[in-house]
Structure formats: C-alpha cells, structure tokens
Amino acid sequence: MLVTLLTAAVLLFRYRNTVCTGPMPVSLFTFIAILFTSGLDVGLIMFPLLDFQLYADEPVYAFANPLAIEFGFWGFLVWGFYFLTTFYFCLVEPQLKLFEIPAIKFINNVVIIGTCAFTAFLFFDYLPTYIDGITPALRYGLVAVVIMFAVLSSTDVKFVRVLSVSSTWLFFALIAGVWLVSGMGIGGLADSASNVTAYFANLHRFLTPMSEYHQFYLYWWFAWSIMIGQFVARFVGNLKVWQLLLALVIVPSIPIAIWFSVLYYYFSNDIVVTSGWRAAMVVVGVIFVINSLDSLIRLYTTNLDTTTERFGRLPYVLGNWTALAGLVLLYRFTPLKIEWIGLVVIGIYSAIYFLVFTRRNELQTESA
C-alpha cells in the first residue's frame, strides 16, 4: 500500500502535464463509465447494508462511523491503484513491454481469469441475502446465465462500451429511486453524506489492514488493480496525468459516496429496503457483474490470443463459459481465496518494479 501510493504521488508530481493516450481513445464520460463499471462489481450494490452493521458492532472500527469505514474500503485512496497501473500501461508498458515476458504474461492472465471468476462467485454467494427463499438450483442457474451473457458480450468491444455507459446511467437511476422513496430529501442526504468526512480525518488508518476483513478488501483491490489498468488504459483519450488522476480517483468516488450515503440513511433510521427495490438492486448488480466479466474476458482472451477471430464464436463462448463456471465451483467447494490472487499480484508488482529499475536507462532513452 505505502509503496504503490507513494509511487503514484511521485508520478503525479514528476509527469503531471504528460499526455496519456490509449490505442482506442473515447470521450471522457465513456472512459469514466468503462472505468466505473469495469473496476467495480456486485459488491458495490450488495455489500453496504451488511457491512454497516458489522462496522457498528466491531470495536476495531469504533474510530469512525460505519459510512466512513465503508467509503474507505471502496473509495478514494484505493483507486490510486488504478491510477498507477493505468499510467504504467499508457506510458511505460508500450516501451518496455514487460507484460510480454512469457512468465509475467502467463501469471497475469491466470490472475485475470481467477479474479473474473471470483466476481461471479461473490454474486452467487450473496444472492440469498437479496432474494428471499431462492433455491440452490436457481442460484446456480442464474450465475450460469450471467456468465454466458458476459461471454457473449465480450465478443465485440462495442458491446463493452454500450453496456458500460448504459449500466452507469442505470446505477444513477437506482440511486435516485432509492433516495426518492426514502423521503430523506436533500437535507437528509446531505446530513448522511457529512459522515464521509470522518474517513478523511482518519485517512492514515486505511493505509494498512485494521482487521482481517479490511485485509480481504485490500487483497481484493490488489487483485483487480493490474488488469483494470491494463484494460482501461486502452480507452484513455488525450488526458494529462493530473487529469487522469482526477478521472480515476476523484470522479468515481463521488457516486460511490452518494450511493453509500443513501443506504446509510436507511441503516441509521432503521428503514427497511422493500422487496421491489431489493429486486432492482439485484438487477443492477447482475448488470454490473456482466459488465465486469465481459471486460476481463475480453482482456485475457486478447492477451492470450484466444479470440473469436482465431477460434470462432462457438468454441470461444463454450470455452470461456466452461472455464469460468468451473472456477466459480472451485471458489465454492475448495479453500481457494481472492487473497491468494492478491498476493500473486503483489509478486507481479515486485517483479515489475525490479524490471523497470533495471531497464530505466532504456526507458529514459526512448522517452527522450
């Protein structure tokens, strides 16, 4: 945490006016939509109401209110990972091509596939919390269908763009709907959101794990960080480094803070989320899962050259669906954890730091 965030700060200071452009630049709104929906998953929708109670009950989190803790687990500082990796894949990787080294390329794609499957597993694991009485058969069937839709969507990059933008607007609509029916109004939302300031007053506490649950979140963020940077770097459109920081760290944190503030009003005032709105949350959660999965599937299939152009649509769809469904079952029935994936990613970070250092003269020469 300390090394990566310090690196991000140094890069911001040193290269703040350097322009970043990916091979497939898009508008700023589309870029942020792709980042937001690819870099988050169903946990953003389904975790907060459960997490608030945990933070209220556990003494380790007593230094701040549950909303500030949840925002710290999901917003602002941790998005610095994405800034660091997006900067790397925009400006460094095209020159050094370290992720083309066979060992690093193989391990990185194993991480992508494993994290992709974990997203689907989380959705499977939390379904009973949001759909009362759901049967095991329906749980497995729904996850299987979601994975299939994600694989189909990944066959064409235009689907990724359309789904990212549409799911972003749908998420905004969900926030507005849950806010309206609560009766909290502008004043109630502002009062609830004011609790987020406790996060910034205790920012230093989030730099290292304060509990096993926080450690889980940090490993989870590490697991996502390289592959999200590798994916979204393709869509950066002529942004200076300081603008890239705003787009990657500040902008996504705003809707997260608003959504959590709305849900925290429900929690703190003992308001029950009705079954209809829980169903709406599940629908948005499904779309987020599909959006996250299709981005990652497209990334690792491109990296491994296992695309539809090479193998055809049917083998591509069946192969990816089988691989991801099988890994979901591994998470379900074996001790496999996302923490292991995160630890592997920290190893990749270490290797990249070492290789960038050893090849720094080559990088400086080409930059000049």
Give me the pLDDT at residue 52, please: 95
The per-residue pLDDT for range 71-82, each reduced to its tens digit, is: 999 989 999 999
- 282 half-sphere exposure, CB direction, 13 A CA radius: 21
Position 365 pLDDT exceeds 60: no
Tokens of residue 9, six digits: 């700060």
The DSSP call for residue 26 is -
> Does the CA dihedral 127-58-53-42 come out positive or negative?
negative
Q: Structure pTM?
A: 0.89
The per-residue pLDDT for range 276-333, each reduced to its tens digit, is: 888 888 888 888 888 888 888 988 998 888 888 888 989 999 999 999 999 999 999 9
- Average pLDDT value for residue range 185-210: 95
| Residue with token string 């308001």 | 271
The per-residue pLDDT for range 20-34, each reduced to its tens digit, is: 999 989 888 888 888
Share of the chain above pLDDT 70, in %: 98
Give me the pLDDT at residue 366, please: 43
- Average pLDDT value for residue range 243-255: 92
Give me the pLDDT at residue 289, please: 85
Give me the pLDDT at residue 364, please: 64
- Average pLDDT value for residue range 93-122: 92
> In which band, very low, low, confident or very high, does the pLDDT at 54 lie, cut at 50, 70 and 90?
very high
| Residue with token string 């709105």 | 277
The DSSP call for residue 101 is S
| Sheet strands (E) in 265-351 | none
